[in-house]
Amino acid sequence: MATCVAEAERPNVNGAISNAQTKILTDLPAELIEHILCFPILKHGDICNVSCCSKRLNDVCHGSGKVWGHQYKLRWPRLQMFYRHNECYDWLREYRTRHRVGIQIRRTVDTISKRFFTEVPCVGQVLGDSFAEIESLGMPEHFCEDELLFILNSDKRKSLTLKYYAKKILYFLRQQNILKSLKTFIEQPAEHQSALEGAVLVDQYCNPLAAVTMSSISAQLDGIAEKVKKMLRIKNPSHPSLRVSQGARFVVEDFELQSQVVYALNSVLYEQLQYKGNEFDYYNPLNSYIHQVLLRHTGIPISLSVLYMTLAQKLGVQLEPVNFPNHFLLRWCQKPRRSEDIYDFVYIDAFGKGKQLTVKECEHLIGHQVTADYYSAISTTEVLLRIVGNLLNIGKRGEGNEKSYQLLRDSLDLYLTINPDNVQYLLLQARLYFHLGIWPEKVLDILQHIQALDPSQHGAVGYLVQHTLEHIQHKKHPVAPDVKKRNAPEHLEVQYSVGLIMKHKRSGYNCVIYGWDPKCTMSQEWITTMRVHQLSSGANQPFFNVLVQDGTCRYAAQENLEPHSAPLEIGHPEVGRYFSEFADTHYAANEELQSRYPEDLRETLATVQELYHRLTPGSENREEPPATDQNNHQATPMSPNASM
């Protein structure tokens, strides 16, 4: 057998196997041939060559056999989760399909940068046409996603632009699938909906690249429920909740037994596991994401209420969600029969460590009286609208950066999926897209829908339609990009070039240059606000667009920048938009950025060679103390003409 393997591993010069090798293989039992052809050293090309040598070898390498199954699993191990172990598949056909999808995906992603690149990026850019291309391939979605993940997991420092757009497409494709699941969820009868499942769908949509699944969330809650049962067992070894298996639906009727569950739940959740309301960072969107609440043991009233209500239900206690103003609550009926009298309920504050409140105490919680309607139980759909509404408000409160715009877009998508005819939010979505300059065709669809729902919005709709049509016309006749050559007389004072890794002298931040102007091009208001006049050269000096390590984009004066003594990678989400590779001492601009700054690459290479060859031993460890005077910090996060 060792001889056979050795022979199989020695192909002749043209890549095929010799007649002698063929004879050795064909004389072996089929099982042994399969075993040899499944050696890791053999690739799909080798199997193709072997199968062409004789009919017997071709039969052994048939599409549904072990050999092609092994090749498929070896090349794309992540896809094994989509196949059942005991079923027969045409592995050769699967291999060809997956290979073809990979080529098409890469070809599409590779062209996106050329079509969508802008030196000053549009915050929240949507690559709608390219997403449509991916969808129109008509290939299995899991193949498309697998290729995108393969691109993202390749060499960390290379193919940065390819990875940048692959990530955007993966983000979009996953969100589209989650929206489909959300629509299916909403169409289910109310009794089949769970607040937890709805909250997980919201979480998944806002975090499509995170590993958030309903099964993992449920498993974590089952673990907490087991801790509660352990405590119940100490209090009451014969408690009915202890006899019910996981997943079974049941209701504990006796009020005293219910009280024991609630007491044990409070003890485990708030004392043992230290869950608490996030009073100090209330408006952090992480407080609304179930997987983050479980990870960080903190949340806001509604997210903690969803967890509390789900755990109580697993243990046989039925609690109902209450859409109380400014502070979401749960209610627990104290009567043996269902009642609508608000005084027949105890109200549970999951944010306040499970404290039980009367009606009067609920009013004291928010500082004013409310009508009885606010104490009523609400549906799962209304719970989701409240969760999404919270995220919408956080997005509106944002600082106008990429994260806040993305959150606003995501929460609007979710809200309008649940309630598609809300004119107020439809108009907000249209205005947001218009403001960001993205997806004008979708803006027109939204405006048409608004006009059909509410003709009184004609004025606002008409204005947006007119300017959106102008935007579409402008897209058809784009302005040629501004090409900046270093030898132009007005550029002679520019000392630094695109791709250099810099340090801000005053603020101490690390950054990479992705653009420059020979003079400050910002508005007079910005120049005054940033006290540019206090600089020795004022606004009459080169200014640089830089991506900063903290994820912001800034506009910095030349006199405030210096090359970094020890170049390092800049962990900014937009690096891939401009650069194709991190080359240890600098970033290599991609083709699109090079076309704007055609002479900068040569300048960058010369600079890094001179700079890092003349460093004295130990100088790479030099650190400058951050300045305490921030007055001359010539950069603001997400300045108007900075990138995302």
The Cα–Cα gap between 546 and 563 comes to 13
Cα separation values, 187 from 380, 381, 382, 416, 450, Å: 12, 10, 14, 14, 23
CA-based radius of gyration for the chain: 31
Q: What is the pLDDT of residue 15?
A: 47
The pLDDT of residue 25 is above 90: no
C-alpha to C-alpha distance for 411 and 416, rounded to whole angstroms: 9
Percentage of the residues of the chain whose pLDDT score is greater than 70: 88
- String of DSSP letters for 403-444: HHHHHHHHHHHHHHHHSTT-HHHHHHHHHHHHHHT--HHHHH
Q: What is the pLDDT of residue 49?
A: 86
Both tokens of 205, joined, read 């949509």
Beta-strand runs (E) in 154-278: 276-277
Predicted pLDDT at 243 = 85
Residue 12's pLDDT band (cuts 50, 70, 90): very low
pTM as predicted: 0.83
- pLDDT at site 5: 36
Lowest-confidence segment of 37-51, 349-363, 367-381, 605-619 by average pLDDT: 605-619
Whether the predicted pLDDT of 9 surpasses 70: no
Contact 290, 303 (CB under 8 A): yes
Task: Give the residue-averaged pLDDT of 70-81.
Answer: 91
Per residue in 177-232, pLDDT (tens digit) is 999 999 999 999 998 999 999 999 999 999 999 999 999 999 999 999 999 999 99
Interval 227-239 mean pLDDT = 93
3-state SS string for 158-171: CCHHHHHHHHHHHH
pLDDT at 124 (0 to 100): 46
Q: What are phi and psi of 546, to 5 degrees?
A: -130, 145
Instruction: Specify the pairing of strand 543-548 against strand 553-557.
Output: antiparallel
Mean pLDDT in residue range 591-616: 87
Q: HEC string of 310-372?
A: HHHHHCCCCCEEECCCCCCEEEEECCCCCCCCHHHEEEEECCCCCEEECHHHHHHHHCCCCCH
pLDDT digits 0-9 by tens, 387-435: 999 999 999 887 667 788 889 999 999 999 999 999 999 999 999 888 8
**Which of 93-97, 154-158, 253-257, 411-415 is predicted with the least confidence, judged by mean pLDDT?**
154-158
Lowest mean pLDDT among 416-425, 500-509, 617-626: 617-626
> Has residue 84 got a pLDDT over 70?
yes
Per-residue pLDDT tens over the stretch 488-501: 999 999 999 999 99
Strands 543-548 and 510-517 come out as antiparallel
Residue 198 in 3-state DSSP? helix
